[in-house]
Amino acid sequence: MTTALRRLRNYIDGEFRDAADGRTTEVVNPATGEAYATAPLSGAADVDAAMAAAEAAFPAWRDLIPAERQKVLLKVADRFEERAEELIAAESENCGKPIALVRSEEIPPMVDQIRFFAGAARMLEGRSAGEYMDGFTSIIRREPVGVCAQVAPWNYPMMMAVWKFAPALAAGNTVVIKPSDTTPASTVLIADIIGSVLDELGHSRGVFNVICGDRETGRLMVEHKVPAMASITGSVRAGMQVAESASKDLKRVHLELGGKAPVVVFEDTDIAKAVEDISVAGYFNAGQDCTAATRVLVHESIHDEFVAALAKAASETKTGAVDDEDVLYGPLNNANQLKQVKGFIERLPAHAKIEAGGEQVGEKGYFFAPTVVSGLKQDDEIVQHEVFGPVITVQSFSDEKQAVQWANGVEYALASSVWTKDHARAMRMSRSLDFGCVWINTHIPLVAEMPHGGFKKSGYGKDLSSYGFDDYTRIKHVMTSLDG
């Protein structure tokens, strides 16, 4: 006897719909490795319908005074709190995440972020009007860009959806968003929440649309003639493909891609405190975080002591079932990701040493043990490329110059951290590290008021903060004659 799979559907112009051609794909719970739902495998007809709905809704949404858009987002935030347990259950099933951690670490910041952008809607800043030519006054207008095609990832599907729709809607844009094909459930639920709020307040439900599908669906969205902007959080490869597709009609592009965060630990660091914080920042969400603390560079004088402490912390870190409140993280998101992480471990060079973990755990699902690998060199594959799993690598450096060289010596440039009691050294390192974020004596905290985004192959554009809000606006110069 088989259990019937739940049916997820697209949300287009205020209606839940199957794919026009009826195609579906199975959605698997990574904690069990078993399918629990089906989702539409959307094609061109579905994308056309969603874009048409967003395009039709745009003029009225654009022309609302900011206070009205704020009212919508504040009510959406309230609904997130009211329906938190539904969101938690959907995300836990989506990703196999521990329920307690979704409740404590994801719901509160998401609500806060929505409320932040609700406030940002009323804080459009720009240069004051002025006369820069005799007889003329110049004014700067800030306007929404239009319809936004947005693609969210599978590591934080719910939170990354918030990072995308909240600034876009606050700025006056309309949205078509596609969740990952492996994690559509929470985004479909968000559509129900936002749609109900738009309906209650008398706005077109076409302001927010959700399309489920695969990479081809995303390509159709990005290449569609309607969107003025394409935004993606995902892999470097996916970002490059989006940039290439968007270039065909010069769409604006916003990319938050991979990371390989260096964690530079100097000899004056409190080792016990650093190990405690770094292990959490490296293993949280199974290391499936572009900012994860997974590439440690430690001064040679404390290397052995640090590695021993880190390996002990790894052995004490627990992964497991979603209802176990003692676990730090759940499974890897999908079978392919488990295969990728295993591959990095299997291909380790002879000079590398596995200090802890290094293997799959459990009889079902995609769980992988907290892992520490030492003895690595700068050009090793596992140092240069993003693992996106619960694997922390350790290298030993001799001086500050070498630490900076190795820290910057990768193609990614999203986040980094420095661990030292020397204030001057911390300031030098924060200047020298070529990353969009530098944490000092901490790693991974984010706040709505500060920007998140990288350089190099980590992409461009910012999430969160007023800078993230700016990315969803365009600048217009208006000049008027003073002669009449």
Sign, CA torsion 266/270/272/277? negative
The angle, 0 to 180 degrees and rounded to 10, between the axes of the packed helices 157-170 and 107-120 is: 10
- Measured CA to CA, the distance from residue 358 to residue 370 in angstroms comes to 7
d(CA 394, CA 300): 11
What is the SS3 assignment for 108? helix
Dihedral angle over CA of 377, 382, 385, 391, nearest 10: -130
DSSP codes of every residue in 305-325:
HHHHHHHHHHHH--B--TT-T
Query: Pseudo-torsion of CA 207, 213, 219, 223, nearest 10°?
Result: -30
Kindly state the DSSP code that residue 71 receives in the 8-state scheme.
H
Helices (runs of H) and strands (runs of E) counted in the chain: 16, 25
Burial of 279 by CB count in 10 Å (0-12 exposed, 13-18 middle, 19+ buried)? buried
Please report which residue ranges of 121-214 form alpha helices under DSSP H: 157-170, 185-200
Give 259's contacts (C-beta < 8 A, 6+ positions apart).
Answer: 289, 290, 291, 292, 386, 412, 414, 415, 454, 458
The residues annotated with a catalytic role in the active site are 256, 290
Nearest to 58, CA basis, from 200, 208, 202: 208
Q: Are 72 and 197 in contact (CB under 8 A)?
A: yes
Q: Report residue 175 as tokens.
A: 């949205």
Q: Is residue 176 within 8 Å of residue 147, measured between CB atoms?
A: yes
Nearest to 437 by CA among 254, 261, 257, 265: 261
358-380 b/e (C-beta count within 10 Å ≥ 16 → b): bebeeeebbbbbbbbbbbbeeeb
The β-bridge partners of 139 are 478
- Packed helices 66-82 and 157-170: angle between N→C axes, nearest 10 degrees: 160
Residue type, 470: D
Cβ 458 vs Cβ 257: under 8 Å: yes
Residue 426: how many other CB atoms lie within 10 Å: 18
From CA 349, how far away is CA 326, in angstroms rounded? 34
